[in-house]
Structure 1
């Protein structure tokens, strides 16, 4: 049994995680601890509260499951945040923002299109972060002013429309970074419609936790990321 720990900001789209757990198989356990919403959700004190709960649950790795709560600090700031989290947890740690970069490398893509519900200034911070990770952003599209609560209520039709609007002809994959979006049930439809890999917040976050635990699980319903063999590093 491998227990994966996640610090989740608030409760939007949290049901993606038990859904992914079911698709991964009986020897993977997903544990969520909520930091709560608010401007200080990514503070060391709030993260420390959640870490203690995960440690008691037996989690072997921990991922801060908020892309915005990580990339908004910049590449260096996000790295420091993860180092602090690992120290607090006493276990391997990462964050969703780094998970996107690692996942793109895993499937061998560099050029990505981004579909986000973030305001333009926040989307620009994400693009800067992804470029710092060695990725090329071919375009970033937003549907306009959409709150996290509104995005959390979207179904397959709205998520698919966002991905299609974001996609560009030269993009090798489409990235949907908002952790408020429910995407676990739609990954197959998304990749079929776009004919390319799609990386979403909950999907890459769980994959990152498995990577930290040195586990590989074949789960085709979770998209291309969960069907590839590890790339050979040279």
Structure 2
């Protein structure tokens, strides 16, 4: 059994995680611990506070007790707003506090893009323009080329959590660019786990979504690969065979 620890801010789309656990169809457990969100606002100062070392450290004790093998901070905007170096310092502090390998959804996107061997990506963000632009900057720092950014201007995660299939597909179609090799949907407050294969079929390219890549990153940290086509192209790589 591989146990993944997910630190999730507040309550928006956390039900994606039990769905993903079920779709993995493997001996993987996904444990979600909620962190204190503070002010629910896609605003740089609020997002920096949301991802502070103190708030994250408060959730790791429960994950240690649950026997987690790795922990991922499941808040894209609460990591990339710190910049590339600041986000590295954030996960280093988290790993130290948790006593286990750690990462964040922001790094998960960069690592997942490398995994599926794409470099040019388009971004469909629920965030305001300034926050969406910071995500694009983060991706560029990770070596990706951002061909376009579509932002929706939504301030709160609570509102994003109310979006359904129609809104998700509308955002994806509006954000896609012909020259992009993959589309990225970065908000962990957005319900996407049920839609990934349909999105990929609709756009004709890989789609990486926040909660999807968060779980994949946890598996990567735990040296696991799971073949689960119902979670999209990212999960169609052959499992690692332990010798």
Aligned equivalent of 1:64: 73
Aligned equivalent of 1:154: 163
Partner of residue 216 from structure 1, selected from 214, 225, 228? 225
Aligned equivalent of 2:41: none
Aligned equivalent of 1:35: 35
Task: Give the distance between the partners of 1:124 and 1:148, measured in 2 at CA.
Answer: 18
Task: Give the distance between the partners of 1:181 and 1:36, measured in 2 at CA.
Answer: 18
Structure 1 counterpart SS, 2:190 = coil
Aligned equivalent of 2:3: 3
Q: After the TM superposition, list the runs of 4 or more consecutive aligned residues in structure 1 that deviate by more than 3 angstroms.
A: 144-147
Task: Give the distance between the partners of 1:211 and 1:145, measured in 2 at CA.
Answer: 31
Partner of residue 126 from structure 2, selected from 114, 117, 125? 117
Structure 2 counterpart SS, 1:7 = strand
Aligned equivalent of 1:194: 203
Deviation per CA, 1:1-26: give whole Å up to 9, x if none.
01000110111100000000001124
Aligned equivalent of 1:126: 135
Structure 2 counterpart SS, 1:84 = helix
Task: Give the distance between the partners of 2:88 and 2:178, measured in 1 at CA.
Answer: 32
Task: Give the distance between the partners of 1:143 and 1:50, measured in 2 at CA.
Answer: 30
Aligned equivalent of 2:43: none
Structure 1 portions without partners, runs of 5+: none
Structure 2 counterpart SS, 1:30 = strand
Aligned equivalent of 1:165: 174
TM-score (norm 1): 0.96
Deviation per CA, 1:113-161: give whole Å up to 9, x if none.
0000111111111111000000000000023345322211111111011
Aligned equivalent of 2:18: 18
TM-score (norm 2): 0.92
**Count of residues paired in the alignment:** 231
Task: Give the distance between the partners of 1:80 and 1:163, measured in 2 at CA.
Answer: 31
Aligned equivalent of 1:46: 55
